[in-house]
Structure 1
Amino acid sequence: GWFEANKTRYQEDILAHAPAFVEALGRRLQAGISPGIVFDTRNNGAGSMMRIYRDTRFSRDKTPYKTNVAFVFWEGPNKKMENPSFGFQFGTFGAGLYGGVFGFTNELRDKYRAAVIDAKTGPALEEALAAVRAAGDYTIEGEQAKRVPAGFDAEHARADLLRYKGLYASSPQFDIQAVTTPDLVEICYEHCRNMAPLQQWLVAVDRA
């Protein structure tokens, strides 16, 4: 297949440089946003760089490889993808970042809902989302339930926020050519800093 024919290019052009990128961006995030952000330079799937191989065991789509390269920098004691995190990915679509949580664990979901209706942390979330949107062409995303969860007031001022099953910000996409420039770490950091109000709010809720 195509990947087998180009595997050496993948190893030399991407894998070989990934640890240095992870280290540089990870340290930048720790210094500029939170010292609690975790990164891991291993390339075997256990670290910040995500595996290129797809898990096809429970999927109808048996395509063996992903078509993007992705990295994650997380903050919290849980499995890496269960924590509030920043992520960077690039592929044929271009490049972009996110900040937040794709899918809440049951524990974080319960903490999140309690925080949404809280008189202090609820308005703080609204302020965080407003700050992210005000920083540029960022979008707030996440799967939502059709209804407000049972036991919560459907007329609550923040009822829409209660429906989220995960909550994250996405950066505007940028040209993939930036991936090959010395500016990449700083570009990624600036996007993460702009999305940090949401990511840091989620970290605080997760720790509560």
Structure 2
Amino acid sequence: MHFPKETLAFLEGIAAHNDKAWFEANRPLYEAGYVEAGKAFVAELGPRLREISPGVQFEPRVNGSIPRINRDIRFSKDKRPYKDHLDLWFWHGDRRSWELPGFWFRLTPARVMLGTGMHMFTREQLEHYRQSVIHPRSGKALLAAVAGVKAKGDYLIGEKTRKLMPRGYEADPERAEYLLHEGLTGWIELPAAAAFAPGFSDACVTHFANTWPIARWLIAEVAD
């Protein structure tokens, strides 16, 4: 399974004409290329991801695994009303939240990014994470998870956002760099053309399986 041509047409169009007039004039393209294509892809991937992680949750609908296209511009200097990308989210836990480990996917007119993990920890999660990094058992398990992901291909380990070590924390040199993270993801970037090629859903499942050790470690050590 792969995305239809309408998806690229809509994403390119909304990127070039991010205003209500263009959106309303092209609502059928939005429905076909964003809503229906997203729902179909979630319905395809969700059951297959449960073979990797039986606890993963998904809902093939807008405000489920498909975020709304409207941007919250109330406190933003960027007043564009619409997102110019398609996100999909498959989460763990009893509630639908970006504050839980999961499988994530983003398609833009130029690229695809997909992987597993948590983009930003809550304050409480960050404390749990740091304690897990410095603990000998869980810290070594983190290194093993990262090594396992990197051994599978050109995967990136993301969310290293700090420049200075957090005060009061020390870890062995091989683990110290992970104290600079305020989230943790394993992911890969592909050209957008990959999303429109036959077999793309199979490739996604492979990439999700390869990066799964990151989310599995987070579920065990960090998640609420």
TM-score by length of 2: 0.83
| Equivalence map 1:131-150=2 (5 Å) | 131-150=148-167
The Cα shift of 1:121 comes to: 1.0
SS of aligned partner of 2:87: strand
Q: Is the 8 A contact 1:69 1:90 kept in 2?
A: yes
Correspondence 1:52 to 2:69: yes
The Cα shift of 1:98 comes to: 2.3
- Rounded to whole Å, the distance in 1 between the matches of 2:90 and 2:81 is 25
- Rounded to whole Å, the distance in 1 between the matches of 2:171 and 2:161 is 14
Which residue of the partner structure matches residue 112 of structure 2?
95
* Identity over aligned pairs, percent: 38
Which residue of the partner structure matches residue 63 of structure 1?
80
Which residue of the partner structure matches residue 179 of structure 1?
195
Which residue of the partner structure matches residue 211 of structure 2?
195
Please list every run of 5 or more consecutive structure 1 residues that lacks an aligned counterpart in the other structure: none
- Rounded to whole Å, the distance in 2 between the matches of 1:155 and 1:121 is 13
Q: Which of 171, 181, 206 matches 1:164?
A: 181
Which residue of the partner structure matches residue 42 of structure 1?
61
**Residue correspondences, number:** 204
When the two chains are superposed, the root-mean-square deviation of aligned CA atoms in Å is: 1.9
CA distance change for structure 1 residues 207 and 102 in 2, over 3 Å: closer, same or farther? Answer: closer
The Cα shift of 1:166 comes to: 0.8
TM-score by length of 1: 0.89
Q: Which amino acid aligns with 2:186?
A: A
The Cα shift of 1:19 comes to: 2.3
Which residue of the partner structure matches residue 204 of structure 1?
220
The Cα shift of 1:14 comes to: 2.9
Q: Which of 90, 99, 105 matches 1:73?
A: 90
Encode CA deviations 1:39-95: one digit per residue, 9 max, x unaligned: 01221x2x0011111111111000111110110111134551000111111111122
- Rounded to whole Å, the distance in 2 between the matches of 1:192 and 1:112 is 22
The Cα shift of 1:157 comes to: 4.3
Please list every run of 5 or more consecutive structure 2 residues that lacks an aligned counterpart in the other structure: 1-20
Q: Is the 8 A contact 2:160 2:178 kept in 1?
A: no
- Rounded to whole Å, the distance in 2 between the matches of 1:124 and 1:154 is 14
- Rounded to whole Å, the distance in 2 between the matches of 1:96 and 1:12 is 22
